[in-house]
Amino acid sequence: MAQLYFVQSAEVLFLKRQMGMMPRILSANLNKLEYAGYVEIPKEFIERKTRTALVLTRKGRAAFKEYRKKVKQFVEKLSE
């Protein structure tokens, strides 16, 4: 979700390369995120090839923002 937080959308192939994940693991994680309503996975055809993109939903953006907030609070407590 961190990869999607700063962009409008990203292609699955790009994310796979960026994260170095195996396709099966990435697919399983994306399915969980889609089921939770955090991402949408629109597919389109360009020159007879499927292009699969990922879009962070409002719910996903809010969840990631809350996650960042909690991580920041946790790190600040460690430094006390």
pLDDT for residue 11 is more than 80:
yes
Supply the pLDDT for residue 61: 93
Q: 45 has which bridge partners?
A: 50
Let me know the angle formed at the C-alpha of 50 by 34 and 55, rounded to the nearest 5 degrees: 30
Write down the CATH number for the domain with range 2-78: 1.10.10.10
Question: pLDDT tens digits, residue range 12-66?
Answer: 888 888 888 888 998 899 999 999 999 999 988 888 888 889 999 999 999 999 9
